[in-house]
Amino acid sequence: MPGPLIQGLLITIRITAISLVLAFIFGLTSALMRLSRSFLARIIARGYLEIIRNTPLLVQLFFIYFVLSPVLDINGFTSAVMALSLFEGAYASEIFRAGIVSIHRGQWEAAFSIGLNTYQTYRLIILPQALRRILPPLTSQAVSLIKDSALVSTIAIYDLTMRGQTIIAETFLVFEIWFTVAAIYLTITLVLSATVFYMEKRLRVEP
């Protein structure tokens, strides 16, 4: 019995890890686009946020899997990663934007005064400072992604949740299996939270 659950756990971890990286990329990119001076970039970013944040994740997952995947010729795993990345990226975008905006304008002026361009200012000055402030909310978003990944079982991805359902159908051990699955999800999120808490302590600047 532990075998299928471990297999499902590995699929869940794989989906979550890839989606987390892509979500942060989408989030940072859309945040920078919203802060850009380009009207077109701001419109595109705003449209992305409004569409994603005002529709359910399950609907987005079904749309990508049943509508886009036959056109793009992508499999269920890729569809799941795409849906989770776009959904979580929209919320991460607001976190990144809030962190960037919170940095005092004087930091920009000081960077430009020593000859840095916009890209160098973001990379060397603004984003490192913003990261310290946005790490806790980004952790919450990562935890949400782990929990939301359970929805990929609806498109026949044999993740942890789907494996649990299969075992229940074979053994009828409803309470035991769901309790185990819940405990595994809880363990993952607690480990993630503890890891980021340690990172936050290392990044914290002492007054």
Q: What are phi and psi of 36, to 5 degrees?
A: -70, 160
pLDDT tens sequence across 11-25: 888 999 999 999 999
Alpha-carbon Rg for the chain, nearest whole angstrom, is: 20
**Residue 1 pLDDT:** 47
156: left (phi over 0), alpha (psi -120 to 50) or beta: left
pTM score of the predicted model: 0.85
User: 120: which residues sit within 8 A by CB, 6+ positions away?
Assistant: 111
| Poorest-pLDDT segment among 24-38, 40-54, 62-76, 165-179 | 165-179
Q: What are phi and psi of 103, to 5 degrees?
A: -75, 130
Q: How far is CA 24 from CA 70, 107, 113, 129, 180, in A?
A: 27, 24, 30, 17, 30
Q: Tell me which of 155 and 31 has the higher pLDDT.
A: 31
Mean of pLDDT values over 136-141:
84
**Residue 24 pLDDT:** 93
Where does the pLDDT of residue 204 fall: very low under 50, low under 70, confident under 90, or very high at 90 and above?
A: low
**Residue 2 pLDDT:** 54
**Residue 207 pLDDT:** 40
**Residue 34 pLDDT:** 92
pLDDT > 70: percent of the chain: 96
Mean residue pLDDT of the chain comes to 87
DSSP per-residue codes, the chain: -HHHHHHHHHHHHHHHHHHHHHHHHHHHHHHHHHTSS-HHHHHHHHHHHHHHHTS-HHHHHHHIIIIIHHHHT--HHHHHHHHHHHHHHHHHHHHHHHHHHTS-HHHHHHHHHTT--HHHHIIIIIHHHHHHHHHHHHHHHHHHHHHHGGGGGGGT--SHHHHHHHHHHHH--HHHHHHHHHHHHHHHHHHHHHHHHHHHHHHPPP-
**Residue 138 pLDDT:** 86
Where does the pLDDT of residue 197 fall: very low under 50, low under 70, confident under 90, or very high at 90 and above?
A: confident
For residue 206, is pLDDT > 50?
no
Q: Which domains does the chain have, with CATH numbers?
A: 2-203 (1.10.3720.10)
Distance CA 148, CA 137 (A): 16
pLDDT tens sequence across 155-187: 878 788 888 888 888 888 888 888 998 898 889
For residue 112, is pLDDT > 90?
no
**Residue 189 pLDDT:** 87
For residue 90, is pLDDT > 80?
yes
CB 134 within 8 A of CB 91: no
